[in-house]
Amino acid sequence: MIRAFGPGRVNLIGEHTDYNGGLALPFAIDRGVTVEAEPLHEPVIRAEALDLGERDEFPLADPPAADGWRAFVRGVAAELRAAGIDVPGARLAFRGDVPRGSGLSSSAALETALCLALIAAAGADEPDRTDLAKLCSRVENHWVGAETGLLDQLASLHGREHHALRIDFVTLALDPVPLDLAGWHLVTVESGAEHTHAGSGYNERRAECRAVCEALGIEHVSQADAEAAAGLPEPLDRRARHVLTENGRVDATVAALRGGDLEEVGRLLEASHASLRDDYEASVPAVERTVAALNDAGAAGARMVGGGFGGSVLGLLPPDARVPADAVAVAPGPPARVL
C-alpha cells in the first residue's frame, strides 16, 4: 500500500499575478489530501472519495471526461501517462482536511497527492517538481475547465517549513523567505461563500487580462507600462493596475518580513485586499464581512486569499489580539510527499 500527502496552500500575498507573469509569496500548509494506492491487475482505476462516499471507475487507456472530483483523478492518470509514466491499474482512496471551496487549494492538494501516489505505484522516478506542477495545472486547464496558473501546484510541491516561497512566474525562480511571526497570529477564517474556479469570475478575469495584453502588445500584464495601462478602457485599466501594484506589494512584503516589520506586512495585506476588491473586483459580500470582522478583532491586515469570489480570508493579528473563535492558525509546512 502506497500513501502520499499533498498539502493545500495559503498565499500570503500576490493574488492573480501567477497567470500574469508576476510575483507571489505562498506557502504549503499542514492540511491537505492523503491518497492511498494499491496496484490492481487490470488496467483500470477504481477511486473512492472517502469524505463524499462517492466512487469512480475508468479505463486507464483514454479515460472519458467527467465532472467534479472525478475530473481530477482521471486527468492526473491521463496526464501522467501522456508524460511517459507507466501508471498501473490501481485502487485509490483519498480523504482531505482542506475544506473544498475554501480558497486554500484543496484541488492542488488532491492533484499533487494523486501524482505522487501514482508515480510511486508505477515504480517510476519522481520527475522534476516544477514539471510536475505544470502537469497538475494541465489537469486543471484541460480536465477541470479552470484556467488556473501555477501558484497552487508550485506551493504544494515546493513548500518549505518556516518559509514562504517568493515565486517569479516568468523565470519560475523560487526563493524561500523565512516567515518568522514573532508571536503574531496568522489565521484563516472561512467566509462561508464557496468558490469554484471553473464556475466563478476567474476565467472572465483571465480573458480581461488577455485583452490588456492584446491592447498593449505585450505578453504578460506584468510587462505593462503603468501609464499606458492607465489609458486602457475601463475595466481593463483597473485590472492591469491591480497586477502591477500587487507585484510591488509582494516585494515590499519580502522586505518587511526580512526586516521583521509585521505591522507593515499587515498594511500590505490590507492594500492587497483593497486592490482585489476595487480594481480586480474579485470579492463578494461574505468575504467583505469576514475581512471586517477580522479588522474589528484588531487585525493589522486581512485579505481574501486564492482565486476569490468566496473562499477564505487571511488575517494577521498582533500578539496581544483576541483571535476570533472561528479562526484557524496557519503556518508553512513541508511539501507534498510519499508517506
Rounded CA gap, 63 and 37, in Å?
18
Nearer to ligand GLA, 141 or 223 (CB): 141
Is 14 within 8 Å of 22 (Cβ atoms)? yes
Nearer to ligand GLA, 37 or 188 (CB): 188
> Stretches 13-21, 55-63, 91-99, 265-273: which one binds ligand GLA (CB under 6 A)?
13-21
Site membership for ligand GLA, residue 19 (CB under 6 A): yes
Instruction: Sketch the per residue contact string, 96 through 115, with ligand GLA: x for CB under 6 A, - otherwise.
Output: ---------x----------
Tell me the C-alpha to C-alpha distance, in Å, between residue 80 and each of 2, 85, 177, 193.
17, 5, 31, 33
Burial of 35 (0-12, 13-18, 19+ CB in 10 A): buried
Nearer to ligand GLA, 18 or 56 (CB): 18
The footprint of ligand GLA on this chain (CB under 6 A) covers a number of residues equal to 12
The DSSP secondary-structure symbol of 98 reads S
Instruction: Sketch the per residue contact string, 240 through 279, with ligand GLA: x for CB under 6 A, - otherwise.
Output: ----------------------------------------
Shortest CA distance to 226 belongs to which of 216, 234, 235?
216
Instruction: Sketch the per residue contact string, 127 through 166, with ligand GLA: x for CB under 6 A, - otherwise.
Output: ---------------------xx-xx--------------
Burial of 27 (0-12, 13-18, 19+ CB in 10 A): buried
Instruction: Sketch the per residue contact string, 161 through 200, with ligand GLA: x for CB under 6 A, - otherwise.
Output: ------------------------------------x---
Rounded CA gap, 191 and 103, in Å?
10
The DSSP secondary-structure symbol of 321 reads S
- Minimal distance in Å, beta carbon 1 to ligand GLA? 30
- Minimal distance in Å, beta carbon 128 to ligand GLA? 19
Which residue in 8, 22, 32, 307 binds ligand GLA (CB under 6 A)? 307
Catalytic residue status for 152: yes
Is 24 within 8 Å of 249 (Cβ atoms)? no
Which residue in 7, 8, 18, 116 binds ligand GLA (CB under 6 A)? 18
Q: Which of 18, 152, 180, 261 is catalytic?
A: 152
Nearer to ligand GLA, 149 or 301 (CB): 149
Shortest CA distance to 280 belongs to which of 11, 2, 10, 16?
16
Rounded CA gap, 6 and 222, in Å?
30
Is 188 within 8 Å of 305 (Cβ atoms)? yes
Distance, C-alpha 135 to centroid of its chain: 15
> Stretches 11-19, 185-193, 234-242, 272-280: which one binds ligand GLA (CB under 6 A)?
11-19
Cis bond upstream, residue 59 (ω within 30): no
Rounded CA gap, 35 and 48, in Å?
10
- Minimal distance in Å, beta carbon 196 to ligand GLA? 11
What are the φ/ψ torsions at residue 257 (nearest 5 degrees)? -65, -45
Which residue in 8, 15, 242, 273 binds ligand GLA (CB under 6 A)? 15
- Minimal distance in Å, beta carbon 94 to ligand GLA? 19
Place of cell 488575517: 315
- Minimal distance in Å, beta carbon 201 to ligand GLA? 11
- Site residues for ligand GLA per CB under 6 A: 15-16, 18-19, 105, 148-149, 151-152, 197, 306-307
Annotated catalytic residues are 152
